Amino acid sequence: MKLQQHKLFPTNIFLIDDVIDNNNLTLIKKDILNNYNVEKSNWQSQSNLHTIKTYNVLTNSIIQYTKQVFDNLKYEYEKFVITDMWSNVLKPKEMHRPHTHSNNILSGVFYVESKKSSGIVFYDPRPQAVVLNPKKTQDNLDNATVLSYDSLTNRMIFFPSWLQHYVPTNQTNENRISIAFNIMLKGKVGDSKDLQSSIF
């Protein structure tokens, strides 16, 4: 009898490389650095970048890829919006503590300039999964309780907003420049027949 494997209740992470052209990538980097306050630690910009013309190409890419993510997950929805979009500059030896992105359904990060050693780390959201944790010959998508993704320039990563994550200490000699964003559904969400619908 053949062993069958079913993967229940997955946590979906989506990666896209070479998201925008180099010209727009350069323009975005220049705008971020023009507003960057070098004296502040873990600097973050205002959260309205999706309304600024310089970021139009990136914003449109986020919208298009969000549609693909929702189609992949077979979600039915009226529409969605980018609720916040902001830039981050992480200097050498800085990090972002574990956190989630409340009041949204989907979040993401886009790397404007980064070495892969300063990536993003996700925690397994199932607390029971580590009650018994055997030694592994290899960490992979099927057995890891903590998993990291490289932060490569011009890479975008989508993840559920509720998924706890952090950015490890920047061990390079260069700033890690990224843009984070949140997505929320608009209109009616869910089905009234299930008695669990809502309107946003």
The CATH number of the domain holding residue 161 is 2.60.120.620
Task: Give the whole-angstrom CA distance, residue 28 versus residue 34.
Answer: 10
77-116 residue pLDDT tens: 999 999 999 999 999 999 999 999 999 999 999 999 998 7
The answer to the question of residue 90 being in a domain is yes
CB atoms closer than 10 angstroms to residue 70:
17
Nearest alpha carbon to residue 52 among 143, 150, 179, 185: 179
Task: Give the whole-angstrom CA distance, residue 156 versus residue 194.
Answer: 35
The answer to the question of residue 135 being in a domain is no
pTM above 0.85, yes or no: yes
The answer to the question of residue 6 being in a domain is no
The answer to the question of residue 4 being in a domain is no
Domain that holds residue 73: 14-122+149-189
Number of domain units in the chain: 1
The answer to the question of residue 141 being in a domain is no
Q: Quick one: what percent of the chain has pLDDT higher than 70?
A: 99
The answer to the question of residue 106 being in a domain is yes
The answer to the question of residue 130 being in a domain is no
Task: Give the whole-angstrom CA distance, residue 168 versus residue 94.
Answer: 8
25-69 residue pLDDT tens: 999 999 999 999 999 999 999 999 999 999 999 999 999 999 999
Task: Give the whole-angstrom CA distance, residue 129 versus residue 143.
Answer: 9
- CA angle at 68 for the pair 11 and 193, rounded to the nearest 5°: 70
